[in-house]
């Protein structure tokens, strides 16, 4: 009995040690070390030149009231916000040029005669303060040929990185841009959100929206000329605090003001287009895993295994003629006419 009592404590200690060793190994192996200096890939070195290209400024500067908020703590990192407010009384429409590598772009029409541009740079991870400081953005308000020009372009990309025994990676700072301008006149757009969504509401627009890793776009606007949307349909960015909506798919509701071409193209995700108005002629071509065209009576309609097309009755006689090309490589496409 004495021998048995001596063996049991030793056995218990051995069992506890065997059970604790994997837990201790996991805890040590997954413990992360953070810092911007940990990135080995030049693409993730903090402060590198952004892929966004800032065009040379032209026209005259337009005054604004500037508020700078931060940097201040955000989760385990930091955030910095700059807000421009400005008078738009003398302008009807204009141009909006925005490029962000990892943030979202939100353009909205508002009532009144005061515009607003809000740029938020954030990184919620350890080392995020350095990543935010290393992310430079230029914001300009100018007058070009009597029209307002809003320009927000990212110049450098800040990053914080981590490594552990089992993993390593990087977390770039995000540049989220919100532009609010009066709902008067037409705005020429050139918008790039390379890893998040583009959102447009309550404006008359034309122009180009793109993003090489953007999950998609959401548009509810008047259409006053050609519009091109080219996005990947999926984001390679992780979903962390403040990262925005990374769900794939593009939706657009357009109210045509005059004739033009509409191109909606995605590598992945569904594409949905609604055209509002009964006095608009539509000529539609779609490409996707499944296709649906509901535009009312047609004078031409055909379909193959990959594509479908249809032209509304009286297209060539319509005062407003819209040619639509909508496609996605892996999702479905739907084009619908709404009465109002």
Q: Are 316 and 259 in contact (CB under 8 A)?
A: no
Of the listed ranges 70-79, 123-132, 190-199, 240-249, the least confidently predicted one is: 240-249
Residue 162 within any structural domain of the chain: yes
Residue 143 within any structural domain of the chain: yes
Name the one residue in this structure whose structure tokens are 């997954």. Answer: 30
Say if residue 259 is preceded by a cis peptide, omega within 30 of 0: no
Residue 87 within any structural domain of the chain: yes
Q: What pLDDT is stored for residue 17 in this prediction? A: 59
Q: Is the pLDDT score of 296 beyond 70?
A: yes
Q: What pLDDT is stored for residue 3 in this prediction? A: 46
Q: What pLDDT is stored for residue 169 in this prediction? A: 87
Please report the DSSP string for 163-208 in residue order.
Answer: E-SS-EEEEEPEEEEEEEEES-SEEEEEEEESSS-EEEEEEEEEEE
Residue 159, strand partner residues? 172
Q: What does the pLDDT average to over 85-114?
A: 95
Residue 231 within any structural domain of the chain: no
| Average pLDDT along the chain | 90
Q: What does the pLDDT average to over 228-249?
A: 83
- Return the DSSP state at 8: H
CA-based end-to-end distance of the chain: 91
Residue 280 within any structural domain of the chain: no
Neighbours of 161 (CB within 10 A): 25
3-state secondary structure of 314: coil
Residue 79 within any structural domain of the chain: yes
Residue 176, strand partner residues? 120
Q: Are 139 and 155 in contact (CB under 8 A)?
A: no
pLDDT in tens, 143-177: 999 999 999 999 999 999 988 766 888 999 999 99
Residue 34, strand partner residues? 162
Distance CA 187, CA 205 (A): 5
3-state secondary structure of 75: coil
212 burial type by CB count under 10 A (0-12 exposed, 13-18 middle, 19+ buried): middle
Q: What pLDDT is stored for residue 34 in this prediction? A: 81
Q: Provide the strand spans (E) within 32-136.
A: 33-35, 48-49, 60-61, 65-74, 77-87, 94-100, 105-110, 114-123
| pLDDT-derived band at 6, boundaries 50, 70, 90 | low
pTM of the model: 0.88
Number of structural domains, the chain?
1
Q: Is the pLDDT score of 1 beyond 60?
A: no
Residue 4 within any structural domain of the chain: no
Q: What pLDDT is stored for residue 236 in this prediction? A: 78
Neighbours of 324 (CB within 10 A): 23
Structure tokens at 126: 């350890």
H-helix or E-strand containing 234?
none
CA distances to 54, 60, 247, 286 from 99, rounded to whole Å, are 9, 21, 20, 28
Residue 59 within any structural domain of the chain: yes
Q: What pLDDT is stored for residue 43 in this prediction? A: 86
Q: Please give the share of the chain, as a percent, with pLDDT higher than 90.
A: 73
3-state secondary structure of 15: helix
pLDDT in tens, 241-260: 777 778 889 999 999 999 99
Residues 151, 238, 251, 332, CA torsion sign: positive
Q: Are 296 and 275 in contact (CB under 8 A)?
A: no
Q: Is the pLDDT score of 41 beyond 90?
A: no
CA distances to 116, 195, 274, 316 from 222, rounded to whole Å, are 21, 25, 12, 22
Residues 6+ apart with CB under 8 A from 18: none
Residue 49 is part of which domain span? 32-183
Instruction: Please provide residue 317's backbone torsions phi and psi, each rounded to the nearest 5 degrees.
Output: -100, -10
């Amino acid at each position: 009995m004495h021998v048995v009592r001596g063996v049991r404590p030793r056995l218990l200690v051995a069992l506890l040690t065997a059970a604790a060793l994997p837990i201790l190994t996991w805890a040590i192996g997954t413990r992360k070390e953070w810092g911007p200096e940990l990135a080995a890939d030049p693409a993730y070195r903090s402060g590198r030149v952004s892929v966004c290209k800032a065009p040379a400024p032209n026209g005259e500067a337009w005054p604004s009231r500037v508020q700078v908020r931060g940097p201040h703590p955000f989760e385990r990192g930091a955030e910095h916000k700059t807000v421009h407010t400005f008078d738009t009384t003398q302008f009807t429409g204009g141009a909006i040029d925005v490029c962000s590598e990892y943030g979202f772009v939100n353009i909205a029409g508002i009532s009144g005669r005061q515009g607003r541009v809000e740029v938020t740079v954030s990184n919620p991870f350890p080392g995020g303060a350095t990543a935010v400081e290393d992310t430079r953005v230029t914001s300009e308000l100018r007058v070009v040929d009597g029209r307002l020009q809003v320009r927000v372009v990212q110049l450098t990309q800040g990053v914080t990185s981590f490594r552990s025994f089992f993993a390593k990676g990087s977390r770039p700072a995000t540049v989220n841009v919100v532009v609010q301008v009066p709902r008067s006149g037409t705005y020429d757009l050139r918008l790039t959100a390379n890893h998040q969504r583009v959102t447009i509401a309550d404006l008359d627009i034309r122009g180009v929206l793109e993003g090489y890793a953007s999950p998609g776009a959401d548009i509810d606007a008047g259409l006053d000329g050609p519009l091109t949307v080219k996005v990947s349909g999926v984001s390679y960015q992780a979903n962390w605090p403040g990262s925005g909506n990374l769900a794939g798919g593009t939706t657009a509701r357009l109210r045509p003001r005059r004739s033009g071409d509409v191109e909606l193209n995605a590598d992945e995700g569904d594409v949905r287009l609604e055209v509002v108005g009964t006095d608009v002629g539509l000529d539609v071509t779609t490409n996707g895993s499944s296709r649906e065209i509901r535009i009312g009576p047609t004078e031409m309609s055909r379909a193959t295994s990959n594509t479908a097309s249809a032209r509304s009755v009286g297209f060539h006689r319509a005062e407003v003629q819209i040619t639509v090309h909508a496609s996605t490589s892996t999702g479905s496409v739907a084009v619908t006419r709404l009465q109002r």
